[in-house]
Structure 1
Amino acid sequence: MSDAMTNGMTDGTTGVTTDGTTDRATDGKADVLVVGSGPTGLTLACDLARRGVAVRVIEQRTEPHRESRGKGLTQESIEALEPLGVCEHMRATGTAEVTLRKYFDGVPVRDTTVTGGLLIGQWQVEQVLRARLAELGVHVEHGVGLLGIEQDGAEVTARLSDGRFVRSRYLAGCDGGGSTSRHLLGIPFEGSTAEEEVMVLGDVTAPGLSRAVWHQWFTSDGGGVLLCPIPGTETFQLQASRELDERGEPLPPSLESFQRLFDRHARMPGVRLADATWLSSWRVNVRMAARIREGRAFLAGDAAHVHPIAGGLGMNTGIQDATALGRTLAAALGGTAGEDVLDAYGAERLPVASALLADTAQRMERVLAAVREPGVGTEAGLG
């Protein structure tokens, strides 16, 4: 454990360590402080709260987002969520069967129906989990960032962006790939990140385009654009190969760029994209935390590992991390096991993360090669 963690408070802005003698507006205690309110953090918080654990959740965002992001739950994740009492609402929101319509050079070639999971936007998953958490008496504290972590043998003290300090028995960093928790804990994020962006993504509407299928247009030049209907909305999630400028540099995602990519690959001049509410880009990022426990602090989800998107396993692996961590912390807090039970989480999940990185990299290569064949789409990354 680093000196900064045992002797003082790490300043998340300057990297300076204070001596810990400053007056602190301590804002109560909790058994577990969860940092981040994505699917991982919310799953963990719900699991702990239903077990009677005093849990708090802080979130840097000032309000919940409505971005589709990860858009599917596997059967394993649905089973993991079942004890939380949320699956009925998830099934009512999502779609259990989705048809992939594959086009090549603008011509429809093949439909493939995929079952066994649930098509559902990430914001919708979070909405259901947040509502369940509120039923359990816990509300996400939005607009609150994490600036420092200090811990000793008995508790963790977190310094928040509003000047408060929160003490807890344990802290769970569920704050994504750019995790502040991981940074403050001094845990290396080992692996590689590609220099070039591979894909642009966004949420758009496409009036006149059928919402009965997930449209996947690929072209003989190796490019493509995908539009997946998010259930219960008018929104499609767009994924597309990047657009380059005259110098060969990638253009930033925008509605105008999305339309040009759509026109090039889909070749449906009557469809005009609109209402771009999420704009993003993606590059291959294969990294894993060197460890997922530092004393009384833990990492889960993207804070612990990031990997290629093929197979749609990101949100799902985070949910499964959360259920394993919830089980571990509940055992330690309940007095049914000694402190050594805390090592069980890393022993269970680190091998899973390591295998996941290798598996999804292979899936990504398989998809990129397969879609050059007419009639093949993202299903090449499943199984």
Structure 2
Amino acid sequence: MTQHFSADVLICGAGAAGLTLAIDLARRGVSFRLIEKMEGPFRGSRGKGIQPRTQEVFEDLGILDRVVAAGGLYPPQREYRADGSYTDSLIMAHEAPTPAEPYHLPLLVPQFLTEGLMRERLAELGHRPTFGCELVGFAQDEHGVTVRLASPTGEEVVRVRYLVGADGGRSFVRHALGIDFPGKTLGVRAVVADVALTGLGREVWHRFNEGAMDAQMSLCPLAGTDLFQLQAPIPREGDIDLSAEGLSTMVTQRTGRDDIRIHSVSWASAFSMNARLADRYRVGRSFLIGDAAHVHPPTGGQGLNTSVQDAYNLGWKLAAVVGGAPETLLDSYEEERRPVAADMLGLATKLLDAAKRGDTRRGREVHQLDIGYPESPLALEQPERISGLLAGDRAPDAPIMGAAGQRTRLFELFKGAHWTLLGYEVLRDAVTPRSGLHIHTFGAHGDLFDDGGHFREAYAPASGDWMLIRPDGYVGAIVASGDIEVQERYLQTVGLAVDGSPS
């Protein structure tokens, strides 16, 4: 029976996770629809931290420079004492970038600016979200998913190959799939608001009453805007006045100052902090990404970043399977990403406990550069390595030189929808060229020169090694030339057979 699909993928939810997946599918030529039940884009700053690993993802997606231009670095924090005196200190431990890790400082960019730039990139690729369109029902079978969509123009029924729920912590998709969402309420309720105010300078992040959960308040200048983000714990019960007047009163009470005045509120939310993780990330042809799969306290700036990287992991796999790769490739999405979210929930909860004590300093633990998939079924070593870079690790960057004499970086070679195969002192013709695979070699007659030794330092290759880099920037396989047939079998399992034509 012939199947008629209106799209390969329906993405439900046009926040950071849904937009990342849409951009990734668009650049791979996979058909999709991106819907959002809200009438317009999210207007708040909630996820304002862009961690170094996500900066690497954004570089690949073609938006990093725009994101940096739109925002800025985290300012120093100013902690006020009861007598009005204060001390200034750095929130983020400052580390210099390295050849292997070009980005070492988190960026501060309000979420609405980040998502706006993502929509701009998506538009360049010929697509836009459909706002005011809600998923109201679906049924799946072994061949696809039949979905019901409701919008102001009426209801429609469409058929897609895959459904992805990027629809937030109260995910309709998760509920409809019957996936449990265990975890706990953390006993902290807070207000976050984007406000215009006078009385404070924009050169620091102002913090009052650190360590006192009934009186804490922070006012952070939002880079790229004239606004401040107000954050404050609030009582677990009762209504909170989120108007400019109500928040001004709260500011006066908590700071003891009457010179700080809030004049307008562009967005505000009162919420209870939870740490929850979906039991499953996939049921049949339906997947969860982002907050639909995991929710957690905002401490450490992990949420938006983890959501973006969920989508970045799933996108190339969906494209590969749509292009003919074995369906089993999709099993690796949950196997790789769910343990990452479990670790992230533990970190965010630990950092929340530290914040309750007034400790808001952050270091490498929040950068997400050490995330990897060493236990993944997609991690292959032949022979097994006992030290240095391992299969499943993040693929480091390295400045190198092309044979034509121009300087470049490994990240430039990785950029795009393809796999990258790096050979070190190998016979180039040992691997058959094919669609979706870019082959580069170091050594005699190679097209790349490791003139600074940075590739050798980061990758620790042995003579004859082939290193296969996944489209999402992780090491898929490290194989010696004598085991090249093992690599060939691996390539077939991810849709890169010689006679294949992956997306």
| Structure 2 equivalent of residue 4 of structure 1 | none
* 1:55 matches 2:32: yes
| Structure 2 equivalent of residue 107 of structure 1 | 85
Closer, same or farther: CA 215–242 of 1 in aligned 2, 3 Å:
same
Q: How far apart in 1 are the matches of 2:364 and 2:194?
A: 22
Q: Does the aligned pair in 2 maintain the 1:86–1:128 contact within 8 Å? A: yes
* TM-score in terms of structure 2 length: 0.66
Task: Give the CA deviation at 1:318.
Answer: 0.2
What is the Cα-based RMSD across aligned positions, in Å?
Answer: 2.2
| Structure 1 equivalent of residue 331 of structure 2 | 343
Deviations 1:74-130 (A, max 9, x none): 001111122111111101101034222222224312232535011000011110000
Task: Give the CA deviation at 1:263.
Answer: 1.1
Bigger Cα displacement from structure 2, 148-157 vs 291-300: 148-157
Q: 1:241 aligns with which of 233, 241, 256?
A: 233
What does 1:52-201 correspond to in 2, within 5 Å?
Answer: 52-105=29-82, 106-112=84-90, 114=92, 116-162=105-151, 163-194=155-186, 197-201=188-192
Task: Give the CA deviation at 1:257.
Answer: 3.0
Q: How far apart in 1 are the matches of 2:191 and 2:91?
A: 25
Q: How far apart in 2 are the matches of 1:306 and 1:183?
A: 15
Closer, same or farther: CA 309–99 of 1 in aligned 2, 3 Å:
same
* 1:45 matches 2:33: no
* 1:290 matches 2:268: no
Task: Give the CA deviation at 1:289.
Answer: 0.8
- Secondary structure of 1:43's match? helix
Task: Give the CA deviation at 1:59.
Answer: 0.3
Deviations 1:154-211 (A, max 9, x none): 11111011311222111110010011111111111111225x5521111111124211
* TM-score in terms of structure 1 length: 0.86
- Secondary structure of 1:283's match? strand
Closer, same or farther: CA 261–215 of 1 in aligned 2, 3 Å:
same
- Secondary structure of 2:75's match? strand
What does 1:307-346 correspond to in 2, within 5 Å?
Answer: 307-335=296-324, 337-346=325-334
Q: 1:214 aligns with which of 205, 221, 234?
A: 205
Q: Does the aligned pair in 2 maintain the 1:287–1:305 contact within 8 Å? A: yes
| Structure 2 equivalent of residue 230 of structure 1 | 222
- Secondary structure of 2:76's match? strand
Task: Give the CA deviation at 1:377.
Answer: 3.7
> Residue 353 of structure 1 aligns to which amino acid in structure 2?
A
Q: How far apart in 1 are the matches of 2:360 and 2:352?
A: 12
Q: 1:303 aligns with which of 281, 292, 317?
A: 292
> Residue 157 of structure 2 aligns to which amino acid in structure 1?
F
Q: Does the aligned pair in 2 maintain the 1:204–1:235 contact within 8 Å? A: yes
| Structure 2 equivalent of residue 204 of structure 1 | 195
Q: Percent identity?
A: 41
Closer, same or farther: CA 327–28 of 1 in aligned 2, 3 Å:
closer
Task: Give the CA deviation at 1:268.
Answer: 2.8
Bigger Cα displacement from structure 2, 263-272 vs 153-162: 263-272
Task: Give the CA deviation at 1:220.
Answer: 7.0
Closer, same or farther: CA 145–138 of 1 in aligned 2, 3 Å:
same
Task: Give the CA deviation at 1:378.
Answer: 5.3
Closer, same or farther: CA 318–297 of 1 in aligned 2, 3 Å:
same
Task: Give the CA deviation at 1:265.
Answer: 2.5
Give structure 1 stretches of 5+ with no counterpart: 1-26
Q: Does the aligned pair in 2 maintain the 1:197–1:281 contact within 8 Å? A: no
* 1:356 matches 2:344: yes
Q: How far apart in 1 are the matches of 2:310 and 2:51?
A: 14
Q: How far apart in 2 are the matches of 1:149 and 1:302?
A: 20
Q: Does the aligned pair in 1 maintain the 2:290–2:310 contact within 8 Å? A: yes
How many residue pairs end up in the alignment?
A: 348
Q: How far apart in 1 are the matches of 2:212 and 2:221?
A: 25
Closer, same or farther: CA 253–378 of 1 in aligned 2, 3 Å:
farther
Which structure ranks higher in relative contact order (CA pairs < 8 Å, sequence separation ≥ 6)?
Answer: 1
Q: Does the aligned pair in 2 maintain the 1:363–1:381 contact within 8 Å? A: no
Task: Give the CA deviation at 1:311.
Answer: 0.2
Bigger share in helix: 1
> Residue 47 of structure 2 aligns to which amino acid in structure 1?
G
| Structure 2 equivalent of residue 13 of structure 1 | none
> Residue 200 of structure 1 aligns to which amino acid in structure 2?
V
Bigger Cα displacement from structure 2, 275-284 vs 347-356: 275-284
Q: Does the aligned pair in 2 maintain the 1:366–1:380 contact within 8 Å? A: no
Q: Does the aligned pair in 1 maintain the 2:197–2:228 contact within 8 Å? A: yes
Q: Does the aligned pair in 2 maintain the 1:203–1:238 contact within 8 Å? A: yes
> Residue 111 of structure 1 aligns to which amino acid in structure 2?
S
Closer, same or farther: CA 340–243 of 1 in aligned 2, 3 Å:
closer
Q: How far apart in 2 are the matches of 1:300 and 1:261?
A: 36
Q: Does the aligned pair in 1 maintain the 2:211–2:355 contact within 8 Å? A: no
> Residue 71 of structure 1 aligns to which amino acid in structure 2?
K
Bigger Cα displacement from structure 2, 339-348 vs 58-67: 58-67
> Residue 172 of structure 2 aligns to which amino acid in structure 1?
T
- Secondary structure of 2:6's match? strand
Q: Does the aligned pair in 1 maintain the 2:15–2:42 contact within 8 Å? A: no
Q: How far apart in 1 are the matches of 2:181 and 2:212?
A: 35
Closer, same or farther: CA 83–242 of 1 in aligned 2, 3 Å:
same
